[in-house]
């Protein structure tokens, strides 16, 4: 925690406690983390008399389209440290992060380490800080899918166990933590910080010409994203999903923003011809944040396995079909526009047909998804650090 020093030097009244500026170290790694950290960094920079922010990029996403573009779109400064972790297996990424991040902690001695989400470096950095008895704050704490076959679920559980400050986005996250025996004084429901980024940049997104560039008409196309290993690393599952998309695009033109991992697997499983045969499918490289916001907001339907898109479509009131068997964001189903449909091709097609047959429901946004989550996070930090 912050150290209080007593100044007795010449010209200074003895016995007066002088509080030093606290160092807050924020970690980003994979694509969704940028949207969660950027608003917090912005709020911390408004109180520079109290805090000095240090930004660490682990480099899990090193492709410019998956990393650099987000620094530009979100107005993030260049990171103070870039660890260059890169890709690889979960243990390999964890090991490289642990070694590299230890050097940063040894040099900076921060008062708080802020991590976000559920990727490998999130857990590695929380673990490193805990070994050095440094407090950890976890943004997006308390989410649970109840599926421990997902590496992300293990990361969520362990990161929450290591964190002193658990910043939750919704009531169900609070309930999950309470059921696990977490002390209430560690739980702070602040809302969804991703919505802070969305609302701040929504006017910029509205002005984007991405629809014109792709030849799309607002409300007359669907958006597709796929990246989870359970969907893209199994050739049968991936082929089935692509088969479903083939049927849907015959009725509704689709934009497929293709993750590098997904593109690689489509080629490896010799499924490129399946995509090439879809006349109403537009395949793009990964899109920048602002472009993705515009395409989501104006879409008639979104099909995805992304957690972030489940939240963003709820904020926009756009129907979302989640191609997974479970979700750690049930609030987007209970209060939002999301529907969990699994990966069975027939179920996907039927769900798409049903969504297109119904008018878009009026958007209802969960409590505290108001664009001010980062303000609440910084207030907690100011009070406790």
| Length, in residues, of the chain | 385
* pLDDT of 272 over the 50 cut: yes
Instruction: Report the range of poorest mean pLDDT among 175-189, 222-236, 276-290, 354-368.
Output: 354-368
- Is 4-192+370-384's fold the same as 201-357's? yes
What residues are annotated to the active site?
227
Enter the tokens of residue 358. 């119904």
pTM: 0.91
pLDDT band at 60 (very low <50, low <70, confident <90, very high): low
Write down the pLDDT at residue 193: 98
Confidence at residue 7, expressed as pLDDT on a 0 to 100 scale: 34
Task: Please give the pLDDT value at position 291.
Answer: 96
Higher pLDDT among residues 19 and 107, named by residue = 107
Domain 201-357 has CATH 3.40.109.10: no
Would the pLDDT of 1 be above 50? no
**pLDDT for position 64:** 47
How confident is residue 65, by pLDDT bands cut at 50, 70 and 90?
very low
CATH match for 4-192+370-384 among 3.40.50.880, 1.10.357.10, 3.40.50.2000, 3.30.30.10: 3.40.50.2000
Does residue 93 carry a pLDDT above 80?
yes
pLDDT in tens, 109-130: 999 999 999 999 999 999 999 9
Domain ranges of the chain: 4-192+370-384, 201-357
Q: Looking at the predicted structure, is the pLDDT value of residue 158 above 90?
A: yes
Tell me the average pLDDT across 182-210: 97
Q: What is the mean pLDDT of residues 253-272?
A: 96
- Give the pLDDT score at 222: 98
Closest CA to 324 of 290, 298, 347, 358: 347
Nearest 10 degrees: Cα torsion 186, 1, 190, 316 = -130
């Amino acid at each position: 925690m912050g150290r209080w020093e007593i100044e007795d030097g010449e010209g200074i009244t003895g016995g007066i406690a002088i509080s030093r500026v606290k160092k807050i170290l924020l970690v980003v790694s994979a694509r969704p983390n940028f949207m969660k950290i950027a608003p917090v960094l912005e709020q911390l920079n408004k109180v520079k008399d109290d805090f000095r922010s240090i930004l660490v990029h682990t480099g899990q996403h090193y492709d410019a389209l998956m990393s650099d573009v987000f620094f530009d779109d979100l107005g993030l400064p260049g990171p103070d440290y870039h660890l260059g972790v890169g890709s690889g297996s979960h243990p390999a990424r964890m090991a490289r992060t642990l070694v590299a991040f230890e050097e940063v902690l040894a040099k900076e001695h921060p008062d708080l380490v802020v991590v976000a989400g559920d990727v490998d470096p999130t857990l590695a950095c929380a673990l490193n800080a805990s070994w050095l008895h440094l407090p950890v704050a976890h943004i997006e704490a308390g989410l649970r899918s109840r599926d421990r076959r997902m590496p992300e679920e293990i990361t969520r559980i362990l990161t929450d166990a290591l964190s002193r400050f658990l910043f939750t986005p919704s009531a169900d996250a609070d309930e999950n933590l309470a059921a696990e025996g977490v002390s209430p004084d560690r739980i702070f429901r602040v809302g969804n910080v991703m919505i802070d980024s969305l609302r701040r940049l929504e006017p910029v997104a509205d002005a984007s010409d991405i629809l014109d560039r792709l030849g799309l008409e607002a409300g007359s196309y669907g958006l597709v994203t796929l990246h989870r290993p359970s969907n893209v690393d199994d050739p049968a599952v991936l082929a089935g999903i692509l088969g479903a998309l083939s049927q849907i695009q015959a009725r509704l033109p689709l934009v497929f923003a293709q993750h590098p991992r997904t593109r690689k697997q489509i080629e490896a499983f010799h499924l490129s011809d399946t995509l090439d045969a879809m006349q109403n499918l537009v395949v793009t490289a990964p899109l920048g944040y602002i472009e993705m916001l515009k395409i989501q907001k104006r879409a008639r339907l979104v099909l995805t396995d992304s957690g972030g898109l489940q939240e963003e479509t709820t904020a926009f009131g756009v129907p979302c079909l989640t191609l997974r068997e479970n979700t750690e964001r049930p609030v987007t189903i209970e209060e939002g526009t999301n529907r969990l449909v699994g990966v069975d091709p027939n179920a996907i097609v039927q769900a798409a047909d049903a969504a297109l047959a119904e008018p878009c429901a009026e958007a209802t946004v969960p409590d505290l998804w108001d664009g001010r989550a980062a303000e609440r996070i910084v207030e907690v930090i100011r009070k406790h650090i």
